[in-house]
Amino acid sequence: MTVSVRDLDVELGGRRVLRSVSMEVAGGSWTAVIGPNGAGKSTLLRAALGLRAGQGSVEVSGRDVRAMRPRQRARLVAYAPQSPKLPPGMTVFDYALLGRSPYIPHFGRESAHDRSVTADVLERLDLAGLAARTLDQLSGGERQRVVLARALAQQTPVLFLDEPTTALDIGHQQQVMELVDRLRLADGLTVVSTIHDLTLAAQYADRLLLLSDGRVAASGPPADVLTRETVARHFDAHVSVAHDAEGRPLLALERPDRSVEEAAG
């Protein structure tokens, strides 16, 4: 399903956080929203879901997402926030099972299918062994995977993921990104995520949207967006940019030339 954001404006505390942001995401594709801290990446996802007030339009396959009732929207778009509030006494399985809530009748109970879907997601995220553990007993990386598990258990055609690899070690980062990508390819999912790791974003996303100071600074295939000059301008970072066999950018930090800085000083 396509995702279309047009001229989205958001104010927080009297300050404009997003300024006429537009984004077109093709069905079955992955768009990663990147940008420096404070650029408005998380705000974009929350505003697109109607969790943050804003002006503009947000549509999924022509349907106004923000006008939907929460239960209706939860069957269409799953959202994994970066820092959710987790009930400390709840088990991993029961928290992930909450992702099935849009399909469980009011005053009803989950079905065997709901529990099977949840168990499968936990297995795929290497969380099956933690299913009976309570959320307050988890590490930061484990909590992040449980939040993703709840979103994946919704089995929606669109996924909004806010920094899905935060607090994960490099192995679990790759595991999570591979899982999301496999689900996207197998089920035709449309994925919109924020990712702070630029190389990771470039390796998995079809397109990148670079936000800077609340505006769209660049948009397009990773190789077009992640240039040495663009990274220097918007992230104030010195990098070298290589490309893998598929032409996707691989970024590495470079130390600034101190001799030039000393001469300038």
Whole-number Å distance between alpha carbons of 42 and 33 = 9
Domain with CATH 3.40.50.300 in the chain: 1-76+156-221
pLDDT grade for 67, boundaries at 50, 70 and 90:
confident
Mean pLDDT over residues 185-209, rounded? 95
Ranges 9-13, 110-114, 256-260, most confident: 110-114
CB 8 within 8 A of CB 48: yes
Whole-number Å distance between alpha carbons of 177 and 226 = 19
Mean pLDDT over residues 107-134, rounded? 94
- The tens digit of pLDDT for each residue in 13-47 reads 889 999 999 999 999 999 999 999 999 999 999 99
- The tens digit of pLDDT for each residue in 144-173 reads 889 999 999 999 999 999 999 988 889 989
Mean pLDDT over residues 50-65, rounded? 91
Between 22-31, 163-172, 205-214, 246-255, the lowest mean confidence (pLDDT) is in: 163-172
State the average pLDDT for the chain.
92
pTM (predicted TM-score): 0.90
Q: What is the CATH number of domain 1-76+156-221?
A: 3.40.50.300
How much is the pLDDT for 106?
Answer: 85
Does the structure show a pLDDT above 70 at 58?
Answer: yes
Which residues share a beta bridge with 215?
212
Identity at 144, one-letter amino acid code: Q
Write out the two tokens for 96. Answer: 């992930």
Mean pLDDT over residues 125-131, rounded? 94
Q: What percent of the chain has pLDDT over 90?
A: 76
Mean pLDDT over residues 192-211, rounded? 96
